[in-house]
Amino acid sequence: MKNKIIMLLTVMMLLSSIPVLGMETTSESAVTAENGEEEVLQLTIEEAVQLAVENSWDIQKLDRGIRDINDVIDNQEDLQDSMEKILSRELMFMPSDITNDFVNNLLVKRGYGVKSAEVQRITLEETKKQTLEALEIGAKSSYYQVLIAEKTLQLQEQLLKKAEQHKNIAAVKYENGVATKLVKLQADSAYISAKSDYQDAEDTLNIKYLELNNTLGLDFEQKIDLTTQVGYTPTEEINLEESIKSAFENRSDIKKLKAELELQQIETDTYKSYYTRGLQQYKNAEEKILEAEHAYDQSFKDVELDVRKKYLELVKAERSLNNMTESVAIARESVRVSQLFYEYDLATLTDVIDAETGLSQAEIGRYQLLISYNISKMMFENACDVGLPSSQSSN
């Protein structure tokens, strides 16, 4: 509670109306600058996930639904008890009054209403787990996108400074008759290109900050300082079969379909106990249970496919990252050699500029692949756990 109060004081209107879902807020997450400057919210990636959860309307809605369905279960249990007494009297004293409505009452007696409500609760609880996973992945991905944009801007700034130096040196050499006008024009053009790339990177960073604020439920004007740095932790050897087995035990989509199959079994057994084999109601009941069984069996194949795909994507991401790391080393050596050759008039200024640009692009590419690797790792772990809601899986 103390941590929550501290956060409310620092973040002020941003979180004043949002319920906290059992998470502690770090008291150092916000820093207010002195002399009337804008407040800057310092965020680790874990705190970003926490904000996304706290500000999620979907989670609040699911929590309300779970509370409501618990009341429904209690009511259905009372109704089941009452129906057992009613049907006992009807069977003993009024056999001639049994109609088709009796089947619905029989379903209630056999616990269909209670089971139906329990299935809804399972669905809501598992959907909440998946939604929490989706919020975490979404918040982290958005956080990563800002880090990529920041890294890109940093590298483009370095490239711009070098381009400006080359431009100034080429101008001096041209004035002294040491360099041709073509060299000067090439340096001027490279500077303009670097300046344009820097401005584009600046705009992209501002856009990514807006998207992150929106993901976390913050005001667009809120200034943020991201404090988590992304590193590379090699993936340990993975036992794919064990991962698939774990997914079978944990995945929410399998649990939901299992609960629906059990519910359908109650309905089918009830209809088959009342209607004769030749009636359409009997045949419809058989068809429904076959469809429920097929959906449940198919879910295991879908989950296994998802795990295997996420595993291959993780392997691919790690391989690409390692290859790009080698490319960065080569590009760095190319810069060193081109600069050395340029000093001895064995290379042109254009060669140096091209090498420096290639190094910057390689470093940006490596950082993007580093982020991609971390996201792929996160997605594989999710595939072996609860999974994502169906609307998220295809994305």
Structure tokens belonging to residue 159: 């490239």
Residue 179 domain-assigned? no
Residue finishing a domain among 229, 264, 282: 229
Over residues 274-303, the mean pLDDT reads 95
Over residues 180-203, the mean pLDDT reads 96
- In the block, tokens 């965020």 appear at 43
Residue 385 domain-assigned? yes
Query: Is 243:322 a contact under the CB 8 Å cutoff?
Result: no
Q: Are residues 145 and 242 in the same domain?
A: no
User: Does residue 201 carry a pLDDT above 80?
Assistant: yes
Helix (H/G/I), strand (E/B), else coil: 42: strand
**88-108 residues labelled b (16+ CB within 10 A) or e (exposed):** eeeeeeeeeeeeeeebebbbb
Residue 254 domain-assigned? yes
Cβ neighbours of 55 (radius 10 Å): 19
Q: Are residues 136 and 253 in the same domain?
A: no
Query: Is 147:368 a contact under the CB 8 Å cutoff?
Result: no
Name beta bridge partners: 43: 226
For β-strands 223-226 and 39-43, DSSP reports them as parallel
> For position 309, which CATH number holds?
1.20.1600.10
Q: Are residues 264 and 307 in the same domain?
A: yes
Q: Are residues 150 and 216 in the same domain?
A: yes
**In the structure, what pLDDT confidence band is assigned to residue 16 with cuts at 50, 70 and 90?**
very low
**In the structure, what pLDDT confidence band is assigned to residue 109 with cuts at 50, 70 and 90?**
confident
Over the chain, what is the mean pLDDT? 87
Q: What is the pLDDT of residues 31-79, one digit of tens each?
A: 445 555 678 999 999 999 999 999 999 999 999 999 999 889 888 887 7
Q: Are residues 224 and 80 in the same domain?
A: yes
Over residues 257-281, the mean pLDDT reads 93
Four-residue CA torsion sign, 344, 345, 349, 353: negative
Helical ranges in 217-348 per DSSP H: 240-250, 252-274, 280-343
Q: Are residues 219 and 278 in the same domain?
A: no
User: Does residue 97 carry a pLDDT above 80?
Assistant: no
How far is 209 from 221, CA to CA, in rounded Å? 10
Instruction: Specify the DSSP class assigned to residue 31.
Output: E
**In the structure, what pLDDT confidence band is assigned to residue 83 with cuts at 50, 70 and 90?**
confident
Q: Are residues 146 and 25 in the same domain?
A: yes
Residue finishing a domain among 213, 229, 245: 229
Residue 34 domain-assigned? yes
Structure tokens belonging to residue 12: 């002020």
Helix (H/G/I), strand (E/B), else coil: 203: helix
How far is 278 from 260, CA to CA, in rounded Å? 26
Name beta bridge partners: 187: none
User: What residues make up the domain containing 236?
Assistant: 231-395
Of 12-21, 56-65, 177-186, minimum mean pLDDT range? 12-21
Q: Are residues 102 and 239 in the same domain?
A: no
Total of domains in the chain:
2
Single pTM value for the model: 0.82
Q: Are residues 12 and 56 in the same domain?
A: yes
Name beta bridge partners: 40: 31, 223
Structure tokens belonging to residue 106: 């029989």
Beta strands, E only, the chain: 30-32, 39-43, 223-226
Q: Is 26 exposed, middle or buried (0-12, 13-18, 19+ CB in 10 A)?
A: middle
Among 312, 324, 299, which residue's Cα sits nearest to residue 377?
A: 312
What percent of the chain shows pLDDT beyond 90? 75
Residue 193 domain-assigned? no
How far is 359 from 162, CA to CA, in rounded Å? 13
Among 95, 133, 381, 93, which residue's Cα sits nearest to residue 233?
A: 381
Query: Is 347:341 a contact under the CB 8 Å cutoff?
Result: yes
Q: Are residues 134 and 275 in the same domain?
A: no
Q: What is the pLDDT of residues 158-177, one digit of tens each?
A: 999 999 999 999 999 999 99
Q: Are residues 129 and 239 in the same domain?
A: no
Q: Are residues 309 and 210 in the same domain?
A: no
Among 214, 132, 122, which residue's Cα sits nearest to residue 392?
A: 132
User: Does residue 287 carry a pLDDT above 50?
Assistant: yes
Q: Of all helices (H) and strands (E), which one includes residue 219?
A: none
How far is 49 from 69, CA to CA, in rounded Å? 28
How far is 35 from 32, CA to CA, in rounded Å? 10
Residue 340 confidence (pLDDT): 95
Residue 74 confidence (pLDDT): 85
